[in-house]
Structure 1
């Protein structure tokens, strides 16, 4: 595979090489691609966890009676204030 880099990308790779931490442009790209893969996996895991929390909250909401917005906000503020006293 052949890729083309813009001038900013080339400068970034050159700066990494000049730092002495990497021996070749290929090594810089290997690290970058590994980190991108790790980021994508972490992002997918975060999305999964958020979806699970939303599903749990929706399920819990079917088990509790509804409350008006003012009561809800006041309860949150009260819990926040109690947390600051601890």
Structure 2
């Protein structure tokens, strides 16, 4: 494993030490590894969501010319579609 030096706020250091003292983690390194795993998961989810947004944007752009719709007109169209579906 590679050793890195990381600066923490006093609050972060205290929380880390408390988690180890309570037995929630075996060491400070375990706390950091767990935090990094959580960060990696959030980044993966973020990338998936960005890909979905890009696809939705591309699909919208490819769907043709847009049109202006008032709120009343949109509501009426949605109600009509809902009635058709039953």
TM-score, normalising length from structure 1? Answer: 0.72
1:4-15 paired onto structure 2 within 5 Å = 4-15=7-18
Please name the residue that 1:72 is paired with: 74
Flag the 1:74–1:68 CA change in 2: closer, same or farther, 3 A.
farther
Structure ranking higher in helix proportion: 1
Q: Please list the CA deviations of residues 30-58 of structure 1 after superposition, one character each: whole Å capped at 9, or x if unmatched.
A: 01011101111110111011110111122
Q: Distance in 1 between matches of 2:54 and 2:45?
A: 14
Point out where structure 1 has 5 or more consecutive residues left out of the alignment: none
Q: CA RMSD in A?
A: 2.6
Q: Match for 2:27 among 7, 13, 24?
A: 24
TM-score, normalising length from structure 2? Answer: 0.72
Equivalenced residues, count:
79
